[in-house]
Amino acid sequence: MQKRFISLWFRHLTTDWLTLRRPELKDLPFVFAAPIHNRIIITAANSLAQEQGIFNGMAAADAKAIVPDLKIIDEIPGQSFKLLKALGEWCIRYSPLIAIDMPDGLIMDISGCPHLWGGERNYLKEIVTRLRSKGYDVRGAIADTAGAAWAVARFGKVKPIIEPGAQASALLLLPPVALRLEPLILERLQKLGFYKIKDFMNIGRSVLRRRFGEGFLLRLNQALGNEDEPLQLLQPVEAYSERLPCLEAIRTAIGIEIAIKTLLEQLCKRLHGEGKGIRTAILKGYRVDGHVIQATIGTNSPSNNVNHLFKLFELKISSLEPALGIELFTLDAPKVEDVEPGQEILWSPEDCSLEDTGLAQLLDRLANKIGAANIHRYLPQEHHWPERSFKPAISLKEKPTTAWRTDRPRPSLLLNRPEPVEVTFLVPDYPPALFIYQNKIHHVKKADGPERIEREWWLEEGEHRDYYQVEDEKGQRYWLFRLGHYEGGRPKQWFIHGFFA
Amino acid sequence: MLDTRKDIISRLQKDILLWQGFTPPPSGKPKDLGLGPIEAAFPNGVFPTGNIHEMMCTTPEQAAATGGMMAGLIAILMRRGGTCIWISTSRKLFPPSLKAFNVEPDRIIFIDVAKEKDALWAMEEALKCEGLAAVVAEIKEISFAQSRRLQLAVEGSKVTGFILRNDPRKPGINTCVARWQVNPLPSKIEDGLPGIGYPCWQIDLLRVRNGNPGRWELEWIDGCFVPVEKEEEPIYHLHERKAG
């Protein structure tokens, strides 16, 4: 899936917060300052102060000289982290994957989220307006990579949303500082006359590496999307996986059974608490000789029943070869779904319906041994063409949308492919008087038909079929058809397609 | 004297049936499967559900007729909303045709396996699942030991099983409660009318455990089995009568 990131930049994070706490500061220029190297240095300035030429890193005394009524407030250490954490937790309503981007931003992985707010434009607008209405001066940008979003949020002048794959062209006109580089490298770039990213984007990577080091290339690649950027998530998603290291290498089937049971019990306990069930699970065994063996199971419906899941793994144990022994077992559940708690049944029903858990467990066992592709259930389909009159159902719970038709006779057995038969019949369209199928002559005593079934021209080309239901002298009933209209001297026109009950 | 002896014999027979697991039907709840005269051939006069039946079909025509008759039986077994499992290696059954025999084709789960061995395994697993209405498996050959495994599974779960023996090489001996053979018969039509009548079969019970084998003719008319009215009195001598 295409990854998308949003970068939020709180331009005046701490000063906005203080303005919210102390509304009387709203119309005053004020700054936060902290002692650095025996000098009082400004660490954050509000927008009014910035308008008058005060910037971060300026000595407080100089600032006071420019703006005599400047209010200087001692910085609260760790305040911006606390604020960003709170803001990030608030933003979880927009996306579950949120990382703090010190000192004044948030990065959110929004892949698959914006459509819930009606597209990326509305999504970004919603976030920014909500935060602004709370009093935080925020800028945001969306791009394929966290680095590009970061750059556009802070330095972009054209548009905040960069289309998928367009991050390289969006970065061209931005200054090198947009790449989150270290001050030393920035200074060197400045000295060499690289004022825009486009100046060095196309220079050979080996040259850049020699001049500016590995860190520079990493940042460039991260912004362009050539390299993944790991995010430290605010609320990391805990994977459904369990580990079981063994003191001694396991070599027997019984040992593997115990390991699977232990792992399943641990995992199912957690799943049970969260109301989830396993759809697929992978058991991996790390062998002494360095190989990894694995077994995969799948279920039709989410399950956190240890016994049932163990039975599924039991079928696979014979395929696990421990060789010299297995040191470590891991059990991962990559696909987990909400389990529908079954209602306790007061009276056990006499018959189990399609929704029954017993049936689902049986099908799981069958599917894990012979493959889920070999289990079918059919639903009616609105087609006259016999081969297309039914379709495989997607799930056990899928209900037929149309009724099964009974108005026309249909044979009990249908040949996979119609087989040609030799036929004697009265032209042009009488039913056959006799036909030869598999070297046996059948004299037709009774017949019914024809039932003409046209080929669906929008699906395939070809001739129609005229179906006849015939009964021979022994009472055996067949379904024959003639392909197309009768034409003299054309062989292979008659076919047998099925047997009636 | 003669009456008392008959009484004793019938009582002993009932006892034997009880020991073999054939409980007489609880009075007031007749489990009529609508098979008409055939049901009388079974012990206690009840079609044995919770057992395995064997259907012999040598030709595809017989298979089609058997499929029809069995679908009628399954429809009755499934009438309380149960599910049926159909296991086969080379399936030719046309699902939409089942609706004509009152079976909802979407309530049947088809399992296609590659080998006979897998079919037997799948059938055993399915027979262990309590509450299934019926399990059908198309199996060519089954040994005595294999059939005993299936019988053990059935005894625990009370599921009815059908083994469709398409093209069997030899009938063999197994633990199935009954061995059926269904042949198509010419359909009956009102005199002179064109077309084909209702499905009509000759049903042979070749072997019935504790029952009486026999031959019957049935028609499938409007969703139920109807015995064929005979014009003349045919006398069938059962050469193939075998001990149960």
B137 beta partners: B87, B163
Please report residues of B whose CB lies closer than 8 A to that of A410. 94, 96-97, 100
Q: Are residues A387 and A320 in the same domain?
A: no
Backbone angles phi, psi at A408, to 5 degrees: -115, 140
Residue A397 and residue A333 share a domain: no
The confidence score (pLDDT) of residue B32 equals 62
Q: Report the pLDDT averaged over residues A295-308.
A: 86
Q: Quick one: A436 and A396 in the same domain?
A: no
Please list every residue in chain A whose beta carbon sits closer than 8 Å to the beta carbon of residue B133: 351
Residues A470, A495: Cα–Cα separation, whole Å: 13
Based on the fold, state whether residues A125 and A22 are members of the same structural domain.
yes
Residues of B within 8 A of A414 (CB-CB) are 92-94, 97
The pLDDT value given to residue B122: 93
Is the pLDDT at B237 greater than 70, yes or no? no
Q: Which residues of B touch A356 (CB under 8 A)?
A: 83, 131
If asked whether residues A36 and A161 sit together in one domain, one would say yes
Dump pLDDT digits (tens) for A166-217: 888 888 888 888 888 888 888 888 888 888 888 888 888 888 888 888 888 8
Is A372 touching B (CB cutoff 8 A)? Answer: no
Q: What percent of chain B has pLDDT over 90?
A: 27
Structure tokens that stand for B236 in this block = 């069938």
Indicate whether A358 and A386 sit together in one domain. no
Q: Does A497 touch chain B (CB under 8 A)?
A: no
Mean pLDDT calculated for residue range B98-117? 90
CA-based nearest residue to A431, from A417, A418, A445, A441: A445
> From CA A239, how far away is CA A230, in angstroms rounded?
16
* Residue A419 in contact with partner chain B when CB distance is under 8 A: no
What is the rounded CA–CA span in Å between residue A27 and residue A11? 17
Interface test with chain B among A377, A413, A435, A442, by most B beta carbons within 10 Å: A413
Q: How confident is the model at residue B244 (pLDDT cuts 50, 70, 90)?
A: very low
Where does the pLDDT of residue A353 fall: very low under 50, low under 70, confident under 90, or very high at 90 and above?
low
Are A361 and A381 part of one and the same domain? no
The rounded distance, in Å, linking the Cα atoms of A245 and A357 is: 33
Task: Please compute the mean of the pLDDT values over residues A54-70 and round it to a whole number.
Answer: 83
* Residue from A416, A405, A395 nearest A451 by CA: A405
Distance CA B195, CA B37 (A): 28
Domain boundary residue among A151, A168, A185?
A168
- Split at pLDDT 50, 70, 90, the class of B30 is very low
Shortest distance, CA A292 to any CA of chain B (angstroms): 29
How many CB pairs (< 8 A) connect A and B?
A: 183
Least confident of A271-285, B31-45, B223-237: B223-237
Handedness of CA A252, A256, A257, A262 (dihedral sign): positive
Is residue A360 domain-shared with residue A380, that is, in the same domain?
Answer: no
Give the gyration radius of chain B's Cα atoms: 18
| Tokens (6 digits) for B188 | 């009956």
A359 inside domain: yes
pLDDT at A305 over 50: yes
Residue A318: which CATH number?
3.30.1490.100
Q: What is the pLDDT of residue A495?
A: 92
Where are chain B's structural domains? 49-186+196-227
Task: With beta carbons under 8 A apart, name residues in chain A contacting B114.
Answer: 370
Residues forming beta bridges with residue A56, ordered by sequence position? none
Joined together, the tokens standing for residue B240 give 């193939």
Binary contact (A353, B130; C-beta < 8 A): no
Task: Please state, in angstroms and as integers, the Cα–Cα distance from residue B9 to each residue in A198, A246, B16, B241, following that order.
Answer: 107, 67, 10, 22
pLDDT tens-digit map of A82-91: 888 888 888 8
* Encoded tokens for B116: 């006979």
Interface of A with B in 429-468 (CB under 8 A): 445-448
Partner residue opposite A412 with nearest CB, options B67, B106, B195: B67
Question: Touching check for B112 and chain A: CB below 8 Å?
Answer: yes
Please tell me whether residue B79 adopts helix, strand or coil conformation: coil
HEC profile for A279-342? EEEEEEEEECCCCEEEEEEEEEEEECCHHHHHHHHHHHHCCCCCCCCEEEEEEEEEEEEECCCC
Give yes or no for B189 touching A (CB within 8 A): yes
Question: With contact defined as beta carbons under 8 Å apart, do B218 and B36 qualify?
Answer: yes
Residue A233 DSSP one-character state = B
Q: Hunting for tokens 């499967």 — which residue is that?
A: B33
- How many Å apart are CA A73 and CA A54, to the nearest integer? 14
Over range A477-493, report the average pLDDT.
Answer: 82
Peptide bond into B96 cis (omega under 30): no
Instruction: For chain A, say whether B234 makes contact (Cβ under 8 Å).
Output: no
Per-residue pLDDT band at B121 (split at 50, 70, 90): very high
Q: Which domain holds residue A319?
A: 241-341+352-365
Highest mean pLDDT among A287-291, A332-336, A339-343, B118-122: B118-122
Are the C-beta atoms of residues B56 and B181 closer than 8 Å to each other?
yes
Residues A141-163, mean pLDDT to the nearest whole number:
86
d(CA B103, CA B95): 10
Give the count of domains, chain A. Answer: 4
Separation of CA A106 from chain center:
23
Establish if A446 belongs to a structural domain: yes
Are A127 and A148 in the same domain?
yes
Residue B116 at interface with chain A, using a CB cutoff of 8 Å: no
Annotate A407-449 with DSSP letters as a single string. Answer: SS---SEEEEEEEE-EEEE-TTTPPEEEEEETTEEEEEEEEEE
**Residue A250 located in a structural domain:** yes
**Contacts of residue A198, Cβ cutoff 8 Å, sequence gap at least 6:** A172, A173
Q: Are residues A300 and A380 in the same domain?
A: no
Identify the pLDDT of residue B135: 93
Residue B28 has pLDDT above 50, yes or no: no
Segment 76-105 of chain B within 8 Å of chain A by CB? 78, 80-83, 85, 92-97, 99-101, 104-105
What mean pLDDT is reported for chain B? 83
Report the CATH number that the domain containing residue A99 is assigned in CATH: 3.40.1170.60
Instruction: Grade residue B136 by pLDDT with cuts at 50, 70 and 90.
Output: very high
The pLDDT confidence band at residue B53, using thresholds 50, 70 and 90, is: very high
Query: What pLDDT, on a 0 to 100 scale, did the predictor assign at position B29?
Result: 45
- The reply to whether B195 touches chain A by the CB within 8 Å rule is yes
Report the pLDDT value the prediction gives residue A25, as an integer from 0 to 100: 79
Q: Is there a domain that residue A179 lies in?
A: no
pLDDT of residue A351: 53
CA dist A223 and A172 (Å) reads 11
Q: Identify the pLDDT of residue A350.
A: 53
Residue A64 domain flag: yes
> Sorting pLDDT into bands at 50, 70 and 90, what band is A316?
confident
Note the pLDDT tens digit of each residue in A400-446.
888 888 888 899 999 989 999 988 888 777 888 999 998 999 999 88
Examine the predicted complex and report whether its ipTM is higher than 0.85. Answer: no
For residues A7 and A59, state if they share a domain. yes
Is B111 in contact with A351 (Cβ distance < 8 A)?
A: no
DSSP A468-480: EEEEETT--EEEE
Find the CB nearest A446 among B195, B199, B201: B195
Tens digits of residue pLDDT in A332-345: 888 888 887 665 55
A445 assigned to some structural domain: yes
Together in a domain, A402 and A421: no
Residue B239 confidence class, pLDDT cut points 50, 70, 90:
low
pLDDT digits over A114-124, tens only? 888 888 888 88
Of A110, A143, A168, which residue is a domain's last?
A168
Radius of gyration from C-alpha coordinates of chain A: 36
Q: What is the pLDDT of residue B81?
A: 77
Q: For residues B44-73, give the mean pLDDT.
A: 88
Q: What is the 3-state secondary structure (H, E, C) of B186-205?
A: CCCCCCCCCCCCCCEEEEEE
What pLDDT is attached to residue A498? 92
CATH architecture of the domain with range B49-186+196-227: 3-Layer(aba) Sandwich (3.40)
